[in-house]
């Protein structure tokens, strides 16, 4: 396969947003391709003052659509406020396997320390893409982070799709793939005392999906959940998926977020993948995640 870059530079070229300037928030891009830090927002106050927050919420929606993942630092929010912020974007999603906090199934527990056998999200993935209606977005609030390490990487799947050749786009058009949670989730949370369920979700989704808000096409296969492409020989599927994974994980499509305590990341699962780095042993990283329901990919 040819390299993304040559004499003419990367095949994917980002075009700057031409929208009006923001009035109630400040947006500082991490890269031209993906990611932005948002300032001027107190999320605890935002969710408790509907009359005041309408314009700011509209601008946060816009910032997410334009940057795919957005970050907020120095946020002191309660579990109730975390859940309320998620509900500003839609009905909440319940994780099919993970433990939760405070008896609320929508508040997922995120925790790893020196005794953990694993950490959440170590490989590239889109959250719970094995669901028939995968999550629209995830809102992660980290309250305790290690002094070094523990960054999260995010990748732009619009960019990954657009950088494919026209012939590859034509080949992928109309193909679907199986996403299966069974081999991932069974036994995964045993260290938390979570019993396995009788079964875990699986679903077939387009290899290339169209975003319901932006109408852009995004590559929608990931190492975490995608098992095979339907309708082609298994060896061809394995080879094609291996190429697409490697392609999607190209650093040209990425940003990297360095966590600080009480920071929040909000990413759009419909057009991104992410990977959490577990490079901070023996330190502790903990927080909670709220996930917003999505729609069936098309």
Domains present along the chain, CATH in parentheses: 26-289 (3.60.130.10)
Distance in angstroms (rounded) separating the CA atoms of residues 126 and 273:
5
**What digits encode the pLDDT tens for the residues 234-258?**
999 999 999 999 999 999 999 999 9
* pLDDT for res 268: 98
CA-CA-CA-CA torsion sign (175, 14, 154, 84): negative
Tens of pLDDT, residue by residue over 120-132, are 878 999 999 999 9
- The question of whether 211 is a catalytic residue gets the answer no
The rounded distance, in Å, linking the Cα atoms of 279 and 47 is 34
Tokens of 68: 């795919």
pLDDT at 2: 41
If you average pLDDT over every residue of the chain, what do you get? Answer: 91
pLDDT band at 11 (very low <50, low <70, confident <90, very high): low
What number of H helices and E strands is found in the chain?
7, 16
Which range has the worst mean pLDDT, 94-98, 172-176, 239-243, 293-297?
94-98
Question: Which of 275, 245, 267, 47 has the alpha carbon at shortest distance from 135?
Answer: 267
The pTM assigned to this predicted structure is 0.91
Q: Active-site residue 127, yes or no?
A: yes
For residues 286 and 119, give the distance between their C-alpha atoms in angstroms, rounded to a whole number.
10
102 catalytic per annotation: no
Which residue out of 82, 93, 125, 179 is catalytically annotated? 125
Q: Please report the pLDDT score of residue 224 as a whole number.
A: 93
- Residues 253-266, mean pLDDT to the nearest whole number: 98
The yes-or-no answer on residue 186 being catalytic is no
Looking at 127, 131, 180, 268, which residue is catalytic? Answer: 127
Percent of the chain topping pLDDT 90: 78
Query: 237: number of CA atoms within 13 Å, CB side?
Result: 15
Catalytic residue of the set 209, 274, 275, 285:
274
Residue 121 and residue 276 in contact, taking contact as beta carbons nearer than 8 Å: yes
């Amino acid at each position: 396969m040819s390299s993304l870059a040559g004499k003419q530079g990367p095949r994917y070229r980002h075009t700057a947003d031409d929208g009006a300037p923001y009035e109630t928030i400040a947006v500082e891009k991490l890269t031209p391709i993906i990611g932005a830090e948002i300032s001027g927002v107190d999320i605890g106050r935002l969710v408790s003052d509907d009359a005041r927050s309408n314009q700011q919420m509209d601008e946060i929606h816009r910032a997410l659509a334009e940057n795919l993942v957005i970050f907020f630092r120095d946020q002191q929010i309660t579990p109730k406020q975390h859940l309320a912020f998620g509900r500003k974007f839609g009905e909440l999603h319940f994780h099919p396997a993970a433990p939760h906090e405070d008896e609320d199934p929508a508040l997922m527990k995120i925790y790893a320390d020196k005794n953990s056998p694993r950490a959440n999200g170590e490989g590239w993935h889109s959250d719970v893409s094995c669901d028939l209606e995968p999550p629209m977005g995830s809102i992660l609030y980290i309250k305790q982070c290690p002094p070094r390490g523990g960054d999260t990487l995010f990748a732009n799947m619009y960019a990954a799709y657009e950088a494919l050749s026209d012939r590859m786009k034509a080949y992928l058009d109309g193909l679907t793939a199986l996403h299966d949670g069974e081999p991932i989730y069974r036994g995964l949370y045993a260290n938390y005392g979570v019993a396995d369920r009788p079964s875990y979700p699986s679903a077939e989704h387009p290899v290339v999906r169209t975003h319901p808000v932006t109408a852009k096409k995004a590559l929608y296969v990931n190492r975490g959940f995608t098992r095979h492409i339907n309708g082609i020989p298994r060896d061809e599927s394995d080879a094609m998926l291996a190429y697409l994974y490697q392609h999607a994980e190209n650093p040209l499509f990425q940003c990297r977020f360095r966590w600080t305590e009480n920071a929040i990341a909000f990413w759009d699962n419909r057009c991104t993948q992410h990977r959490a780095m577990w490079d901070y042993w023996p330190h502790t990283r903990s927080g909670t995640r709220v996930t917003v329901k999505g729609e069936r990919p098309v």
